[in-house]
C-alpha cells in the first residue's frame, strides 16, 4: 500500500542515508503546475509516474493510490491557500514500502523567449537504463543547466552519442521547417514530456532524427515543459562555423497559435482543486 506524505513549507524530511533513495538516487518524480487553482494534466502525469514505478521498482500503483494521491494534493493546496504553484511528487521505495512525497518548489522567473547553446561535449546516452524515466539521478541536467545560465543562455540544446539533436536540460524542443513542425524522436534518448505528448496528439508533428547540420534549415524553434509550457527560441549559438542561428519573428505567430491550442486542451483536462 502506498504511503503518502505531505511536506508543507518549513517542514523537513528525515531519511536513513542507508536507503537506496538517498545513497543512489533511487526515486522518480513529477513536476506539475497548479494554475488559478486548477491542476494541469493530472492523469497524464500519474500515468507516467505509474509506468516508471512499475518498470524501475516493480511497484504497481493502483487506482486507489491515484485517488488517494489526488485527494492529498487537494488537501495540500487548500492548506497552503496557493492557487498558483509548482507542485512536486517524489516516489521512493523504502525498506518499509513505497512512499510518495507531495511538496512544492519556488517558481523561477518566467522568461518570454529562450536562447540556447548547442552542447556536443556532454552527449546523452540513448541506451542508458533510465532513458524515458524521470529519476532522481538529475545531477547532470542541473549541472549543465547552471553552466548554460552562467554563460548567458537559457539552456543547452543537447545531442545524443550519435550526434542527433535530443532535448534541452529540462525540456523538449520542436523545430519549424516550412509548413512542417518536427521534433526529435524518442529513439534519440530524450525524456518524453507531458506537453510534448499533448502536442503530438493534437497537431501534425513529425518525430524524426535531426542532425546538427539540419539546424541551418530551420526557420523557427520552441521548447516545452510542464511549467513553462511553450517558449519560443530566438537564438541557438554554438553551431559550427557561425556564432549563432537567429530565427525571424515570422515563426512567432505560428508558435502563438500552438500555445492557444495547448491552452484549450489544458483547460479541458484541468482539475479544480478548490
CATH code that applies to domain 114-265:
3.20.10.10
Give the architecture-level CATH label for domain 3-105: 2-Layer Sandwich (3.30)
Q: How far apart, in whole angstroms, are the C-alpha atoms of residue 115 and residue 93?
A: 38
Residues of the chain with CATH 3.20.10.10: 114-265
Give the pLDDT band of residue 13 (cuts 50, 70, 90). Answer: confident
Write out the three cell numbers for 7: 511536506
Q: Is the pLDDT of residue 242 over 90?
A: no
Instruction: Report pLDDT for 245.
Output: 86
Question: What stretch of H or E contains 139?
Answer: helix 139-150
> Which stretches does DSSP call E strand in 43-171?
85-94, 97-105, 114-124, 155-160, 165-168
pLDDT tens per residue across span 206-235: 999 999 999 999 999 999 999 999 999 999
pLDDT tens per residue across span 96-147: 999 999 999 888 777 888 999 999 999 999 999 999 999 999 999 999 999 9
Question: What stretch of H or E contains 169?
Answer: none
pLDDT tens per residue across span 75-94: 999 999 999 999 999 999 99
Give the pLDDT band of residue 241 (cuts 50, 70, 90). Answer: low
Residues of the chain with CATH 3.30.470.10: 3-105
Amino acid at each position: 500500500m502506498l504511503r503518502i506524505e505531505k511536506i508543507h513549507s518549513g517542514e523537513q524530511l528525515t531519511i536513513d542515508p542507508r536507503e537506496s533513495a538517498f545513497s543512489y538516487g533511487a526515486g522518480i518524480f513529477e513536476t506539475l503546475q497548479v494554475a488559478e487553482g486548477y491542476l494541469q494534466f493530472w492523469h497524464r502525469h500519474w500515468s507516467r509516474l505509474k509506468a516508471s514505478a512499475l518498470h524501475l521498482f516493480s511497484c504497481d500503483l493502483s487506482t486507489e493510490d491515484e485517488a488517494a494521491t489526488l485527494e492529498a494534493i487537494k488537501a495540500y493546496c487548500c492548506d497552503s491557500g496557493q492557487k498558483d504553484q509548482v507542485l512536486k511528487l517524489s516516489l521512493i521505495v523504502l525498506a518499509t514500502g513505497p512512499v510518495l512525497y507531495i511538496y512544492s518548489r519556488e517558481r523561477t522567473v518566467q522568461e518570454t523567449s529562450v536562447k540556447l547553446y548547442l552542447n556536443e561535449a556532454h552527449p546523452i546516452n540513448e541506451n542508458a537504463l533510465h532513458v524515458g524515466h524521470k529519476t532522481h539521478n538529475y545531477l547532470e541536467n542541473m549541472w549543465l543547466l547552471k553552466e548554460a545560465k552562467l554563460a548567458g543562455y537559457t539552456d543547452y540544446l543537447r545531442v545524443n552519442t550519435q550526434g542527433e539533436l535530443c532535448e534541452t536540460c529540462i525540456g523538449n524542443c520542436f523545430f519549424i521547417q516550412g509548413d512542417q513542425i518536427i521534433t526529435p524522436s524518442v529513439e534519440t534518448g530524450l525524456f518524453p514530456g507531458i506537453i510534448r505528448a499533448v502536442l503530438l496528439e493534437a497537431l501534425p508533428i513529425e518525430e524524426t532524427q535531426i542532425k546538427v547540420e539540419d539546424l541551418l534549415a530551420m526557420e523557427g524553434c520552441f521548447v516545452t515543459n510542464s511549467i513553462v509550457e511553450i517558449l519560443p527560441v530566438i537564438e541557438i549559438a554554438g553551431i559550427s562555423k557561425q556564432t549563432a542561428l537567429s530565427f525571424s519573428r515570422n515563426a512567432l505567430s505560428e508558435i502563438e497559435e500552438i500555445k492557444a491550442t495547448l491552452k484549450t486542451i489544458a483547460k479541458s483536462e484541468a482539475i479544480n482543486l478548490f
